[in-house]
Amino acid sequence: MNQTDNVTLCVDIKMNPVSDVLMAICIMVLVLGITFHSLTAWPIVQQICSKNILAVYLFGLSVSDMLYILTMPSWIYYYHNDHKWTLDRDICKLTGFFYYSNMYISIYLLCCISIDRCLMVTFPLRVKAFRHYRNAWLICGLIYVLVMSIHSVILKLDTSPAQPQQQPQQQHCYETYPMTVPVALLNFLRVSAGFLLPLLILTVCYCQILCKVQKSVSVDEHSKRKIKLLSVGVIAIFSICFTPYHILLLAREIYITF
């Protein structure tokens, strides 16, 4: 009898490997993210005090990344419960809002850094006319306002985490099926303007940098090789980090729209 009970108990244990993998990724992002930004915060602040324009973009990127990382505990809790959201619905909305908006804020700030580097390499004299410390802060502020405004619209249109008839233990967070047409169209905007356009900008910028460096006689071969590896690495990391999510998002949009 005891043996039968033990077998029954073993069979009743439900393990979702997808939830376990996602939870492990979130824990890794949380630990590594906090560690990395704790180590880089003070050097960035020092550069800002020195009126370094690049440091302004790095500071904006760091703040955005930290807001993104601080959503990880909620996702860890969610995946630990096997994609069941038992917390307040407003917490889900805020978690999703800061998660997605800060992901795209980071993407656009990476574009700003790439454009800034490209202009400094290709047009070092002409770019000084409008490359000012105050303008960098203004650009960062505009990116934050624009991206968060767009995602506030998506937040209002999205009916997740659950339909009203769902039981609390069945509720999901930002996993609405089927996706509504307005949300699908806004997500198409996120894929095109939030991923494909930035990827194009990064590719063009680093190709321009490579062409300029390759033609320069003042840069030795070792430095040219390092710049080439850095350029390819940035584009590769960007693609690896953001392509899978946007492919899935685009697939859902095409399914809903057509």
What pLDDT sits at residue 12?
39
Q: Which CATH class is domain 15-257?
A: mainly alpha
Query: According to the per-residue pLDDT averaged within each range, which of 125-129, 190-194, 198-202 is highest?
Result: 198-202
Residue 70 confidence class, pLDDT cut points 50, 70, 90: very high
Residues 121/208, Cβ–Cβ less than 8 Å: yes
Chain-centroid distance of CA 45 in Å reads: 23
Map out the domains of the chain as residue ranges: 15-257
Residues 54/113, Cβ–Cβ less than 8 Å: yes
Alpha-carbon span 218 to 166, nearest angstrom:
67
Predicted confidence (pLDDT) at residue 255 exceeds the cutoff of 80: no
**Which residues are CB-contacts of 59 (< 8 A; sequence separation ≥ 6)?**
44, 45, 48, 140
